Amino acid sequence: MPDLTSLLGKKSVEATPPKQLDNGLYYFLTQKYKTIDATAEKNGSVVFTFSVITPVEVDPGANEGITFPVEFVHYQTLTEKSLFRLKKLLDDMGIEEADRTLAERLVDSPNKAFKGMLNQQPSGKAGDNNFYAKLTETYPSD
């Protein structure tokens, strides 16, 4: 990780936005996860760190200049109505369901592969005109 002096010592013209992954289907590998407890203001969540390994169905040349794998952080908000999304992700990772809880299945998620659809979406925050990649759908890796 570069130190602050090194970062601030760069020429202003070098401070450009990073290249974004193009919309499309990619192979992912789960690196790690952590859970965040709910508070009075926010729902609980699972934060996954994935490696985007390679494009599967993406316009040729769209990711020119990007070196794979690319780290990707995904927040899975947990509510009674959204638990099915976590279950689907774990299913698509190929993690056995049997008679296990979601927490027991999460433990097996590191090093599990799946395919996922990335879409660039606006931030939605006032004053932030940037687009961010969002994992919108998952599929088994085959």
Could you tell me if residue 13 is inside a domain?
A: no
* Cα→Cα distances 60→24, 28, 38, 121, Å: 11, 19, 42, 21
Residue 61: domain span: 27-139
The number of folded domains in the chain is: 1
55, β-bridge pairs = 26
Q: Confirm whether 63 is domain-assigned.
A: yes
Mapping DSSP to helix (H, G, I), strand (E, B) and coil, where does residue 70 land? strand
pLDDT for the residue numbered 132: 80
Q: Who has greater pLDDT, 33 or 123?
A: 33
Residue 85 within a domain: yes
Residue 43 lies in a domain: yes
Cβ contacts of 122 within 8 Å, gap of 6 or more:
129, 130, 131, 132
pTM, two decimal places: 0.84
Question: What is the rounded distance in angstroms from the CA atom of residue 19 to the CA atom of residue 3?
Answer: 22
Q: Is the pLDDT of residue 2 over 80?
A: no
- Tens of pLDDT along 92-139? 999 999 999 999 999 999 999 999 999 988 777 777 767 788 999 999
Give the pLDDT score at 137: 96
Mean pLDDT of 26-46: 94
**15 within some domain:** no
Is 4 domain-assigned? no
Quick check: helix, strand or coil at residue 50? Answer: strand
